[in-house]
Amino acid sequence: MNDLNPIPSPVNAAYERFETAQRDTLLKARALIFEVAREDKNIGELEEVLRWGEPAYITSKKKTGSTIRLAVEKQSGQPAIFFNCQTTLVEDMRSRFGTELTYSKNRAILLPSLDDTIKSALKFAIGAALSYHLRN
């Protein structure tokens, strides 16, 4: 994958459990998460861990960001970026991007595909999550 951010073995095993097309999309989302973190000096280093058996990303610096989790949304079967439902992140993205993105309640942004048309919106959403506590 990306030599800058090798996937820890337990997290890699979680990715391997996804169907190939889902895994490919989620790995693209993973790369985007690390790209956003590298581009924003306020975010800093990320920890890549498992939450509920799924790949999750949180800032190493406490009180900086909110956890992002990558998984398949059960109802739709689509890959998704999950956010803490106690935050306003999904509602904020819904207000900002409307139908440019697809949502699952107040928990996730669905990724039917991860193409260039939604990348800038996703990068914004990821940056907002990884810097959530700096703004709120």
Phi, psi of 83 (to 5 degrees): -120, 160
CA 90, CA 95: separation in Å to the nearest integer?
9
| The pLDDT of residue 1 | 45
Whether residue 1 lies inside any domain: the answer is no
Instruction: Count up the domains in the chain and report the number.
Output: 1
In 3D space, the residue among 98, 100, 55, 58 whose CA is nearest the CA of residue 79 turns out to be 55
Beta bridge partners of 57: 48, 68
Q: For every one of its 136 residues, what pLDDT tens digit does the chain have, with 9 covering 90 and above?
A: 445 789 999 999 999 999 999 999 999 999 999 999 999 999 989 999 999 999 999 999 888 999 999 999 999 999 999 999 899 999 999 999 999 999 999 999 999 888 888 999 999 999 999 999 887 5
Domain span at residue 86 reads: 9-135
> Which CATH number belongs to the domain containing residue 75 in this structure?
3.90.1150.200
| The pLDDT of residue 3 | 58
Whether residue 130 lies inside any domain: the answer is yes
| The pLDDT of residue 63 | 86
